[in-house]
Amino acid sequence: MRVVVGAAVVSDGRLLVAQRAEPPDMRGFWELPGGSVEDGETEAAALVRELREELAYAVVVEGRLGPDVPVSGRDGRGLLLRFYRCSPAAGEEPTALEHLALRWVGVDELDTVAWLPADEVLLPALRAALTESS
């Protein structure tokens, strides 16, 4: 099954969230930045590549975060979302090259985000990650 990796980047007790521009039915909803793992690529390498492409941002990939989330992809075939906790490389700031906007949210704001539906499964794990880092 195709695996899509997403980055839970935590810095100063806040989580980086990104607002999707496309496809039209996902436009305006918020996600954790990332994308598909390519053939022969590790999941960590895919995350580093995707965040460089989408955000011109260098991150260090730490451990897995939360459960795998099966969703149906744009072509109707299944894909598996898998998330990793990450931290920014020193001195780095993200730029929204492909997203409508970026936000850093604290633990109290997690519930106010208009998440892509699949990401809501992750909220307990995100809450725990933000609580332990603040």
Ligand X SMILES: Nc1nc2c([nH]c(=O)n2[C@H]2C[C@H](O)[C@@H](COP(=O)(O)OP(=O)(O)OP(=O)(O)O)O2)c(=O)[nH]1
Least separation in angstroms between CB 47 and ligand X: 10
* 34 counts as binding ligand X under rule CB under 6 A: yes
How far apart CA 120 and CA 35 sit, in angstroms, is: 18
Contacting residue, 3, 14, 35, 127, with ligand X by CB under 6 A: 35
Please name which of 108, 127, 119 lies closest in space to residue 71, comparing C-alpha atoms.
Answer: 119
* 6 counts as binding ligand X under rule CB under 6 A: yes
Contacting residue, 119, 126, 129, 130, with ligand X by CB under 6 A: 119
Instruction: Print the SS3 string covering 1-64.
Output: CEEEEEEEEEECCEEEEEECCCCCCCCCCEECCEEECCCCCCHHHHHHHHHHHHHCCCEEEEEE
Closest to ligand X by CB, 90 vs 114, is: 114
The site that binds ligand X (CB under 6 A) totals a number of residues, namely 14
Residues found near ligand X in the complex (CB under 6 A): 4, 6, 31-32, 34-36, 71, 73-74, 81, 116, 118-119
